[in-house]
Structure 1
C-alpha cells in the first residue's frame, strides 16, 4: 500500500492506494478526519463505434453503513440513488469530463463510495479529487490532475473544508475545482458578498487545490501505470471551413431568437 499525506487545518488529508479495489484500472481511498471515501476508475479496452461523444459515467454513492446505520423497515437493501447522490455525481462529472483527450471513446466509469461519514462535510468534494487521482494512476488517458475544495466564510474569515457545525453559521459556501493553471468550476451559495471577497475565496481554494494536485502527481510517480495511446481523429481543414461557412451565419441568427421553442427549432433546422 502506498499513501501520501498533507495537513489541512488540524487534520491530515490522506490519499492511499493498493489496498482496496485492486482489480480496477485505478483505485484510491481518501481520508480526512473520520470521513473515508473509495474512488475507482475503470475503462473498457475497446472503443464504442459510431458515437460522437465521450461515454463517461460518474456515480456517487452514500451507504447508510457509512454513518453506522442500516435501513429501517422490512427491506434492508438500499434502493436507487437519492437526489443528493445524483446531484453530487453531476458535481463530480462537470470538472472531470473536460480532462480527457479528444478521440478517446472507451466506456469509462468513475465510482465514488462513502465508506465512513464523519463531521467533516467533505465527502462530495473528496469525490472530485478521488476520481482524478484514480484516473491519474490508471492507464486511462487523463489530462489531470484536478482537485476540489470547499471554502466557507465564518465571521468574516475564510476557512477550508468547514465541518458540519461550522457550516451552520457560514454566510458563504463555495465549491471550487481546478487544475494548477485554471479554475474549472465554481458552485455554491452566499449572502451578500463583494467581488473582492468572492475572488479571495477562489484564490484561497486554488492554493489548496495546487497542494492536492501535487499529492496526485507524487502518487502517480510512485505507482502510476503507463497510459494507453489515443489516436486523435483529424478533421480536414477544408471540411471544417465549409461547415463554418454554411452553419455559422444560420446559428448566429438562430440564437438571437428570444422565444425558447422557436430558438430550439431554428437551431435544429441548422443541423440539417
Structure 2
C-alpha cells in the first residue's frame, strides 16, 4: 500500500478508488453436500474487483465478481445488476452463429440472472444506494453439476469478501433439492434431476429462507415441506463455509467500515409523519378510489408536503427528503391495513379480486382468451405448427438441460401502453419480458 501512495500520477489517483485497493489474502473453504464436495476460493482471480470468488463442484466452476461504486447516488431502488453468462467455451465448443462469437444473453442466462438477483437483493438495507454489479462467468461446465446454483453461492461469497459486505445482511447459501428413489438429494446431478419428483431451489440466510423456486410432480404436501426444511438446513453449511472464507480473506486486507445508515434522522421522520399521516390515511381508506385516482391523490399530497419540508430543512436535498416521504407512505399504508383490516380497495385480507375469463375471443386463431382481474388484463393467443418449428437447442444448452428441442413455447409481452407509458415499439425484447418466459 505504501508504494501505491507514493505514485506521482495525479490522474491515476483521481480515478482510482482507495476503498478497492487492498491486499487480497488467498483463501479457500470446503463444504460437504451429500456425498460430494463444494469448494469456494478467493484471492486468485479478478484481484482488482471489490470481491471475487471461484466456486467448484465436480468439474464445473464459476467465477463471480462484485464491484461497487464508491459514491452513492440518490435512488428510489437498489441499483443492483446481476449478469450471468454461460459461454460456449466453458463446454469446449464454438458458438453456433455466423460470426462464431458470443452474442447477447440467452433466455436461460437471463432467467438464471433473475434467480441470483432474487437471492441476494432482499438482504441489502433500504438505505443502500451504492451501485453494485455482480458478474457470473461460468469457466467450465461438466454437464452434470448445475452452474446456476453454484453461481448463487459464489455471488454470496464475492459480496461477503468485498467492501460492500458491511452493507449486506448476508451471506446466503443456496441448494437444489431433489427427491430420487424416496430419498432427498442435495444438488442432484443432471441425470438424477431427470428422475426426481421434486425440483426445488432454496436460498437461505441466518435470518431464514430468502427465496424459493421450483416445483414438484404430484407429491404430498408434507413431503414438499420436508424438502424445504432439508434445503434450509443444508444451506447453513454453505453459509458457515462462506463466513470462514470471509474471515480468512480479511486478514491483512483493508476493508472500509460500514457507512452510517442514511435517512435515519428521527426528527425528520417524525415531522414527515405528522404532515402526511391524516392526509394519506384518508386516501388509503377511501374505497371509491381506483389505482389512477389514488396515485394522483398521493402525488398531490407528496407535492404539498415536499414544499413544507423544504422550508423546514434548507440543508436537505429534494431527493433525500423524498426518501423520508416514501418510507412514511409505506408505513402509513401498512398501518391503515392492519388498523381497518381492509386493503386500500375495500377488500378484506382474505378476499381475492373478482376475475373474469373469456375464451375464443379471436375466432380465426387456433386459441385465444382474455383474463381480467381488477384493472389488469391478459390477452393470450395460441398457435399450432408442425414439429419442424420446435425450438432447437444448441450444444451447450443440450449439455446443461439434456433436451434437444422444445415444442411448447410461452412468449410474454409487456407493451408500454399497458401502464400508460410511451415506449418504442419493435425494439429488442426486454429482460423483464424474457424473465417471465417459461423455461
**Is the pair's TM-score, using the shorter chain for normalization, greater than 0.5?**
yes
Distance (Å, rounded) in 2 between the aligned partners of 1:69 and 1:267: 55
- Describe the SS at the equivalent of 2:219: coil
Larger gyration radius, structure 1 or structure 2: 2
| Cα deviation digits, residues 86-124 of structure 1 (max 9, x gap) | 111111111211211232211111111111112334211
Report if the CA contact (8 A) 2:146-2:190 is conserved. Answer: no
Residue number in structure 1 paired with 2:346: none
Query: Greater relative contact order (Cα 8 A, min sep 6): structure 1 or 2?
Result: 1
Distance (Å, rounded) in 2 between the aligned partners of 1:240 and 1:193: 49
- Describe the SS at the equivalent of 1:238: helix
- Describe the SS at the equivalent of 1:128: helix
Classify 1:239/1:133 alpha carbon distance in 2 versus 1 (closer, same or farther; 3 Å). same
Residue number in structure 2 paired with 1:44: 69
Q: In the alignment, is residue 119 of structure 1 matched against residue 149 of structure 2?
A: no
Unmatched runs of 5 consecutive residues or more in structure 1? none
| Cα deviation digits, residues 20-71 of structure 1 (max 9, x gap) | 111000000000001101011100001114x222111111111111111011
Note the aligned Cα RMSD (angstroms). Answer: 1.9
Unmatched runs of 5 consecutive residues or more in structure 2? 1-25, 300-439
Q: Displacement, 1:160?
A: 0.4
- Describe the SS at the equivalent of 1:152: strand
- Describe the SS at the equivalent of 1:46: coil
Q: In the alignment, is residue 182 of structure 1 matched against residue 182 of structure 2?
A: no
Which of structure 1's runs of 4+ aligned residues deviate more than 4 A?
A: none
Indicate which of 161, 165, 169 corresponds to 2:187.
161
Classify 1:216/1:226 alpha carbon distance in 2 versus 1 (closer, same or farther; 3 Å). farther
Q: In the alignment, is residue 246 of structure 1 matched against residue 270 of structure 2?
A: no
Indicate which of 63, 70, 75 corresponds to 2:94.
70
Residue number in structure 2 paired with 1:30: 55
Q: TM-score, normalised by structure 2?
A: 0.57
Show the 5 A alignment for 1:127-206: 127-140=151-164, 141-206=167-232
Distance (Å, rounded) in 2 between the aligned partners of 1:64 and 1:270: 53
Aligned residues: 265
Distance (Å, rounded) in 2 between the aligned partners of 1:232 and 1:70: 48
Q: Please identify which structure carries the higher strand content.
A: 1
| Cα deviation digits, residues 228-252 of structure 1 (max 9, x gap) | 4143212512313543433345345
